[in-house]
Amino acid sequence: MRILLVDDHSMIRAGIKHLIVKMQKTAEIFEAMNAKEGLQIAIQKTWI
């Protein structure tokens, strides 16, 4: 499973990431600080 977290608050991203990893140990989690960065990551990665 691949997940892209986009939020401008690093503490929020860290907390959500921690919860996801706790529930789904094999998840690949990518982080972005804003929509522009999130779109760049989304375009670069294979999601299927």
pLDDT of residue 46: 84
Q: What is the pLDDT of residue 35?
A: 97
Phi, psi of 11, rounded to the nearest 5 degrees = -65, -40
* DSSP helix, strand, coil percent of the chain (3-state; round to 5): 50, 20, 30
φ/ψ of 41, rounded to 5, equals -65, -45
Which single residue is written with the structure tokens 């670069």? 44
Residue 4: per-residue pLDDT = 97
pLDDT digits (tens, 9 = 90+) for 1-48: 999 999 999 999 999 999 999 999 999 999 999 999 999 999 998 877
